[in-house]
A and B are shown apart, each in its own frame.
Chain A
Amino acid sequence: MGSDLLLYIVVGTALAFDFTNGFHDTANAMASSIATRALPPRVAVALSAVLNVAGAFLSLAVATTIAKGVVDPSVITLNIVFAGLIGAITWNLITWYFGLPSSSSHALIGGVVGAALVAKGQSAIKGAGIVEKVLIPAVLAPFLAGAVAIVGTYLAYRLTRREKGDHVRRGFRYGQVASASLLSLAHGTNDAQKTMGVITLALIAHGSLNGNAGVPTWVIISAAVAIGAGTYIGGWRVIRTMGTRITAIEPPQGFAADTSSAAVILASSHYGFPLSTTHVCAGSIIGSGVGRKLADVRWGVAGRLAIAWVITLPAAALVGGGTSWASDLIGGTAGVLVMAGVGAILATGLYIVTRRDRVTADNLFEQGSASRDPNAVKHDLPDLVAA
């Protein structure tokens, strides 16, 4: 009975993580399309949600390991997985509150690392794996994607400089729908698989599933629905940062940024070089700002993103470790149940706090009502709407 309850809690927490992963990462694919009015905000998140769900069903490459190469797999228990998920969810919610795009994968790795460190000691952690899988890719991804976007943006403007502005803007808007859709599909094939892997591992550890069995259909459906629902809810705070606060994005920039992101993500996935989708997409948007003549990149905002990326792993590890410690202190399934309750209360509290300063599809571009950031980029609304 106790182990059944623990399994239900872990599965529920994994789906909650999947949901936060969805709404946190909507911005990766859709922020630039929303910013350039290529798509209305609600249509953009709905399209992204459908493509994330489709992506979840398309890929069979379900990762049945968590924090592979970073934590000794033999020490991972359901309690550690649970604590790691709580660490990742907490970091996703905190960064969402501050509108900071950060990697959900790195948060999950950080949570599991912290939980394993507290539960099993330093020997369970592979330091070289953290450097190889998290730190170096986190540094390389934005520069790599940014460089590609700089070249793409420069060429897009250079080639079309003699054409009529409204023709160019309209043309690139159509292109953005395709490139953003590809990004959403890629996100669904990558990120929903993480949750499927977590749930599948939990089922194997519980004994409900044979180690050689495939992923149950209900796991695929529930993970797809959770990430799709999260995407549809739309992490408007993160979308606002990515779409309007790094740089004012015009359609050629948006297309160049999305296409660069898709190219780098697909290449990294194909060659097995682990790059975070979030870091790649943010790097591309910054690159699209650098690549356009006279564009203004808010380096202060970019710096804040970099700081968030640096502290993602230790922050999620701290929460994951704390959760592991507290649930062990209480003991057994009761400890996990109590910590799940504490997590749910804190998440609800944060949601209530955000209601005072709501960011929605309706006030996404308003300066002042929802935004307290004096560095917000003034959006070129009349020009873009007129086009």
Chain B
Amino acid sequence: MSSYVNVTALWHVALYGVLFGAGIVTCYALGVIGASRLTIARERGGASVIAPAALAAVSFATVATGLAFALYVLLSK
């Protein structure tokens, strides 16, 4: 089997696939939570908007960085 499969490449694909695939989804989900709580805080008025805004900003910025890295990988072929 291993003579037909580049096991090292397969291992890398699996590792980075999980790392980036699930990682980006997790960061984005945190961003959605932040954005959702920010909206609710604004609707209620008076509630602190700093924590949800910071969570959303950091999470979406991480996702944007991941997207930029993906574009770099895509174009560097």
Residue ranges of A at the interface with B (Cβ–Cβ < 8 Å): 58-61, 128, 131-132, 136, 140, 144-145, 147-149, 151-153, 155-156, 159-160, 163-164, 167-168, 171-172, 175, 178, 182, 185-186, 189, 252, 255-256, 259-260, 262-264, 266-273, 275
Contacts and interface: CB of A to CB of B under 8 A. Distances in A.
A155 B29 contact: yes
A178 B67 contact: yes
Contact of A155 (B17, B26, B36, B37): B26
A146 to B, nearest CB: 11
Interface of B: 4-6, 9-10, 12-14, 16-22, 24-26, 28-33, 35-37, 39-40, 63, 67, 70-71, 73-75, 77
A259 B25 contact: yes
Nearest to A260: B21
User: Would you call the interface of chain B mostly helix, strand, loop, or mixed?
Assistant: helix
B77 A269 contact: yes
Contacts of A275: 13
A168 to B, nearest CB: 6
Contact of A168 (B5, B18, B20, B36): B36
Contacts, number: 139
Nearest to B77: A61
A340 to B, nearest CB: 33
Nearest to A190: B77
Contacts of A60: 77
Given A140-B10, A259-B21, A263-B20, A163 B4 contact: no
Given A59-B77, A268-B13, A272-B9, A151 B32 contact: no
A163 B67 contact: no
Given A159-B30, A164-B36, A171-B36, A264 B22 contact: no
A156 B24 CA distance: 10
Given A163-B33, A172-B32, A263 B75 contact: no
